[in-house]
């Protein structure tokens, strides 16, 4: 049986959320990407990670590189059949698409597992079922929603684009994401040019830090502390959970079925929820604890996280805007708990190449 060997897909360069259209051909050694600009490049099979396309109806997603790497999204799962036909032994580590029969089985199973959730929504309401609903939402849907939420939150606001600043922020982010196994999201940090002292994470790994908060940090470690905390809100799916708890039934049904039509309208609802509501105390504790562990695994001094939160607690809010402090109160309990998690013996931590320039770099946005 022969299959087509050319496929349409979207390429993301890891810097921008704007996709580039590509035509992909499947060869013996890898995927050849043909861009509209006539540029052609090859992604060898051994460099690729398949992060989506295991379930019926799910688009196929390949990633390359570490940290904020490059991503290729191909709507047709049949490309996996072609890879297995042409890719020889290299293709062995990609998921082999199910046979037609197995796909029917998965579809039926998916329908059956979501039925009790839909029944439960009507009986007990969405908030009490937010946990299982959140767990059942496809990651691909969450990522798409996150992109729209980010666009919604940053709409009309300038974004910091100084290359030195962006490089420093990405180095700190990559130091942490590199120490996470099986990263389900491609994390991105956007620094919004606004004096507000705030930071927030949208679903799917889209973190937004406002300039006011960045400029309040005294070191890369303090900034890393906030990022580590926000990364954990995403990985633990707190962001998605908060949105699910407070949105409409139509949103939940669309999310469960993976229906992306009308995503923009849901994004508006989701963005408002994230900007006006807080996570539970338990969620905050979890993000603190696992954020601190992430810093240690990444060889970043975790004391920066504690000094920053302590400093935030002492600050007088500018113009009465509480920002990050209103959602992350620096209570004595919280600080004491974080301190109790520090390792008892002194450890050697990494120094960033821009360590001594931080006080300058953090102002480069202006």
Report 31-60 residues binding Zn ion (CB under 5 A).
none
Kindly tell me which of 42 and 278 has the beta carbon lying closer to Zn ion: 278
The least CB distance from residue 153 to Zn ion, in Å, is 16
The least CB distance from residue 211 to Zn ion, in Å, is 19
Kindly tell me which of 70 and 284 has the beta carbon lying closer to Zn ion: 284
Kindly tell me which of 239 and 301 has the beta carbon lying closer to Zn ion: 239
**Tokens coding 207:** 């973190």
Distance CA 104, CA 112 (A): 12
The least CB distance from residue 246 to Zn ion, in Å, is 16
Kindly tell me which of 169 and 274 has the beta carbon lying closer to Zn ion: 274
The least CB distance from residue 215 to Zn ion, in Å, is 20
Q: Is 328 helix (H, G, I), strand (E, B) or coil?
A: coil
The least CB distance from residue 230 to Zn ion, in Å, is 7
Kindly tell me which of 61 and 237 has the beta carbon lying closer to Zn ion: 237
Beta carbons of 241 and 287 less than 8 angstroms apart: no
By CB under 5 A, how many residues form the interface with Zn ion?
Answer: 2
Distance CA 141, CA 243 (A): 13
The least CB distance from residue 289 to Zn ion, in Å, is 12
Helices marked H in 163-302: 163-177, 211-216, 220-235, 238-246, 249-257, 263-276, 281-297
Report 281-310 residues binding Zn ion (CB under 5 A).
284, 287
Kindly tell me which of 73 and 242 has the beta carbon lying closer to Zn ion: 242
**Contact window for Zn ion (CB under 5 A) among 63-71, 245-253, 278-286, 329-337:** 278-286
Instruction: Name the region of 254 (left: φ>0; alpha: ψ -120 to 50; beta: rest).
Output: alpha
Distance CA 235, CA 168 (A): 22
Strand partners, 207: 189, 201
**Contact window for Zn ion (CB under 5 A) among 16-24, 99-107, 162-170, 280-288:** 280-288
Among 295, 300, 308, which residue's Cα sits nearest to residue 352? Answer: 300
Report 207-266 residues binding Zn ion (CB under 5 A).
none
Distance CA 3, CA 79 (A): 9
The least CB distance from residue 287 to Zn ion, in Å, is 5
Kindly tell me which of 138 and 304 has the beta carbon lying closer to Zn ion: 304
Kindly tell me which of 192 and 242 has the beta carbon lying closer to Zn ion: 242
**Tokens coding 26:** 């499947």
Q: 263-276 vs 249-257: helix axis angle to the nearest 10?
A: 120
CA 260 to chain centre: 18
Distance CA 221, CA 107 (A): 46
The least CB distance from residue 324 to Zn ion, in Å, is 9
Residues making contact with Zn ion (CB under 5 A):
284, 287
């Amino acid at each position: 049986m022969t299959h087509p060997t050319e496929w349409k897909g979207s390429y993301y360069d890891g810097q921008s959320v704007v996709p580039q259209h590509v035509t992909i051909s499947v060869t013996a050694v890898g995927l050849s990407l043909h861009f509209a600009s006539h540029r052609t490049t090859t992604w060898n099979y051994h460099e690729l990670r398949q992060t989506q396309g295991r379930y019926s109806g799910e688009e196929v997603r390949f990633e390359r590189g570490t940290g904020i790497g490059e991503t290729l999204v191909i709507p047709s799962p049949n490309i996996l059949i072609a890879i297995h036909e042409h890719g020889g032994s290299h293709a062995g580590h990609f998921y082999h698409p199910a046979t037609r029969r197995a796909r029917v089985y998965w579809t039926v199973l998916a329908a059956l597992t979501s039925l009790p959730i839909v029944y439960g929504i009507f009986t007990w309401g969405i908030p009490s079922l937010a946990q299982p609903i959140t767990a059942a939402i496809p990651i691909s849907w969450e990522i798409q929603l996150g992109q729209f939420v980010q666009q919604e939150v940053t709409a009309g606001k300038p974004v910091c684009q100084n290359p030195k600043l962006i490089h420093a922020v990405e180095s700190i982010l990559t130091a942490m994401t590199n120490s996470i196994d099986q990263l389900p999201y491609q994390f991105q940090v956007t620094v919004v040019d606004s004096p507000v002292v705030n930071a927030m994470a949208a679903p799917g790994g889209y973190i937004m830090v406002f300039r006011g908060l960045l400029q309040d940090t005294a070191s890369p470690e303090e900034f890393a502390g906030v990022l580590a905390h926000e990364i954990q809100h995403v990985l633990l799916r707190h962001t998605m959970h908060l949105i699910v708890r407070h949105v409409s039934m139509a949103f939940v049904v669309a999310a469960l079925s993976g229906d992306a039509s009308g995503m923009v309208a849901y994004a508006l609802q989701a963005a408002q929820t994230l900007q006006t509501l807080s996570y539970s105390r338990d969620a905050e504790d979890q993000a603190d604890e696992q954020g601190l562990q992430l810093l240690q695994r990444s060889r970043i001094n975790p004391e920066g996280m504690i000094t920053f939160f302590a400093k935030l607690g002492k600050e007088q809010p500018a113009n009465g805007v509480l920002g990050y402090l209103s959602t992350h109160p620096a209570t004595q309990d919280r600080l004491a708990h974080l301190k109790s998690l520090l390792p008892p013996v002194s450890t050697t931590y990494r120094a960033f190449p821009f360590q001594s320039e931080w006080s300058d770099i953090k102002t480069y946005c202006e």
